């Protein structure tokens, strides 16, 4: 069987590197090219050293890309939108890992991203690439927008709760690894500045909040999101406090979660009564496409505490992108994504 | 067929399981003690308490 040909545009960054790592282990695809304007002609493993010995691909110029079956776009936010027509002409399936087509409302781009979307007429053509919520729409889709990493970590545990209970208020406290900031260094990411911090870098109005409101219906004004940069390279742990407008018990939450996610290949429930890993832990999902979800009811306040853990570069980006591709082209959903995590 | 007291999932035992044996719920992972076989009932198994700086 002919392998599916893949193009990766913007392959020098972390999500591009993760795509190469996952796709060279995928038995039904072949990477035709990976682009980087800065590293043209250099072997990919020079930029992504974990790939040494597993690929002899070299970066090509983005000016030299050609037709492929699936094109992944790992470009900075704002760049994809300006060139989307060119990319769309080169592939039947376009999978964008930037934020440029995640939102359906052009007004949201004005308010959350502070820019006028140059192709807002295309926003509704993109499917929000979260298989657990939109699997049927992803089947045979041709344009997919991969969700933001902290949005993924919040939406997945919250979706069943929001769909089935009356919610008064949600507070999301996310702990985020440094790779979520991307591969380009900044003053804030310089090692002496970044190391050891617990940095609340955007206490309110974070851009990913727009995705949460879009996907979690009827929650207008009820979602509060404060991410913190912590001492990890990979991973996001979201501790989510949910306040209800109704009575509930833990077994109601279990039934709701099981009903929604029982057959999902990349969702696990984690709830232990003892030991060091009682609830989801980013360290355990590192390198995997898993989203681990746990919860507990606070008996004194009726608050529900949801906890999720993902690898921001896998389930929060490139892994979810590959999962969407598998669904869109109609092959087995876990292909290329069955890596196990580490312990310890 | 019994019901997990934690998550409410149905649990079917393999042959040979006895009363007071500890099993895991395949859905939620809870450790359960088999209290009675007929009818099949479970309770959460006792866990060793730990002090996490509390």
pLDDT higher than threshold 90 for residue B52: no
B48: pLDDT strictly greater than 80:
no
Write out chain A residues lying below 8 Å of B28, CB-based.
254, 269, 271
What are the domain boundaries of chain A?
4-147+315-329, 149-312
User: Which CATH topology does A4-147+315-329 take?
Assistant: Rossmann fold (3.40.50)
Q: Where are the domains of chain B?
A: 2-44
Any idea which architecture B2-44 has in CATH?
Answer: Single Sheet (2.20)
Residues A203 and A200: their CA atoms lie apart, in Å, by: 6
Q: Which of B8, B28, B50 has the CB atom closest to A274's CB atom?
A: B50
**Chain B residues touching residue A250 (CB < 8 angstroms):** 6
- Distance of alpha carbon A27 from alpha carbon A334, whole angstroms: 11
Question: What is the C-alpha R_g of chain A?
Answer: 20
CA A248 to chain centre: 30
Instruction: Answer whether CATH 3.40.50.720 is correct for domain A149-312.
Output: no
**The pLDDT value given to residue B42:** 96
The answer to whether B7 contacts A272, with C-beta atoms less than 8 Å apart, is no
Q: What is each CA distance from B11 to A21, A158, A264, in whole angstroms?
A: 39, 27, 20
Q: In this predicted model, what pLDDT tens digit does every residue of A99-125 receive, in sequence order?
A: 999 999 999 999 999 999 999 999 999
The pLDDT score that the predictor gives to residue B50 is: 67
pLDDT confidence of residue B14? 87
Residue A126 has pLDDT above 70, yes or no: yes
ipTM: 0.83
3-state secondary structure A75-112: CCCCHHHHCHHHHHCCEEEEEECCCCCCCCCHHHHHHH
Q: Does A343 touch chain B (CB under 8 A)?
A: no
Same fold, A4-147+315-329 and A149-312: no
Q: Once rounded to an integer, what is the mean pLDDT over residues A290-294?
A: 98
Q: CB–CB of A14/A179 below 8 Å?
A: yes
pLDDT in tens, A228-287: 999 999 999 999 999 999 999 999 999 999 999 999 999 999 999 888 899 999 999 999
Res. B49 pLDDT band, cuts 50 70 90 = low
- Does residue A223 have a pLDDT over 90? yes
């Amino acid at each position: 069987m002919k392998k599916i040909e893949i193009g990766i545009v913007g392959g020098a960054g972390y999500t591009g590197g993760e795509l190469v790592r996952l796709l060279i282990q995928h038995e039904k695809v072949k990477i035709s090219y990976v682009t980087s304007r800065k590293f043209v002609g250099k072997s990919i493993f020079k930029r992504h050293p974990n790939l040494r010995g597993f690929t002899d691909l070299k970066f090509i110029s983005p000016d030299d890309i050609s037709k492929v079956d699936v094109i992944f776009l790992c470009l900075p936010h704002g760049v994809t939108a300006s060139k989307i027509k060119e990319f769309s002409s080169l592939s039947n399936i376009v999978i964008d890992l930037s934020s440029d087509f995640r939102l359906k409302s052009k007004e949201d781009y004005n308010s959350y991203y502070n820019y006028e979307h140059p192709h807002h007429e295309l926003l509704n053509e993109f499917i929000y690439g979260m298989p657990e919520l939109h699997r049927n729409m992803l089947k045979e889709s041709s344009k997919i927008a991969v969700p933001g990493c902290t949005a993924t970590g919040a939406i997945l545990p919250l979706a069943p709760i929001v769909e089935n209970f009356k919610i008064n208020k949600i507070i999301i406290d996310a702990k985020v690894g440094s790779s979520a900031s991307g591969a380009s260094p900044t003053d804030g990411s310089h090692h002496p500045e970044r190391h050891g911090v617990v940095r609340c870098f955007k206490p309110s109005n974070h851009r990913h909040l727009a995705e949460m409101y879009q996907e979690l219906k009827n929650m207008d004004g009820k979602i509060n999101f404060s991410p913190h940069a912590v001492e990890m390279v990979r991973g996001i742990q979201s501790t989510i406090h949910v306040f209800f407008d109704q009575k509930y018990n833990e077994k109601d939450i279990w039934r709701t979660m099981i009903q929604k996610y029982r057959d999902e290949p990349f969702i696990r429930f984690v709830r232990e009564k003892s030991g060091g890993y009682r609830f989801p832990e980013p360290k355990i999902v590192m390198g995997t496409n898993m989203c681990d979800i746990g919860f507990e009811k606070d008996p004194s306040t009726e608050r529900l505490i949801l906890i999720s853990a993902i690898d921001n570069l896998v389930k929060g980006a490139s892994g979810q992108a590959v999962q969407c591709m598998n669904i869109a082209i109609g092959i087995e959903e876990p292909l290329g994504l069955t890596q196990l995590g580490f312990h310890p | 067929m019994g019901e997990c007291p934690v998550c409410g999932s149905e649990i079917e035992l393999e042959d040979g399981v006895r009363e007071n044996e500890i099993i895991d719920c395949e859905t939620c992972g809870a450790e359960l003690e088999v209290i009675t076989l007929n009818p099949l009932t479970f309770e959460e198994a006792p866990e060793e308490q730990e002090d996490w700086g509390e």
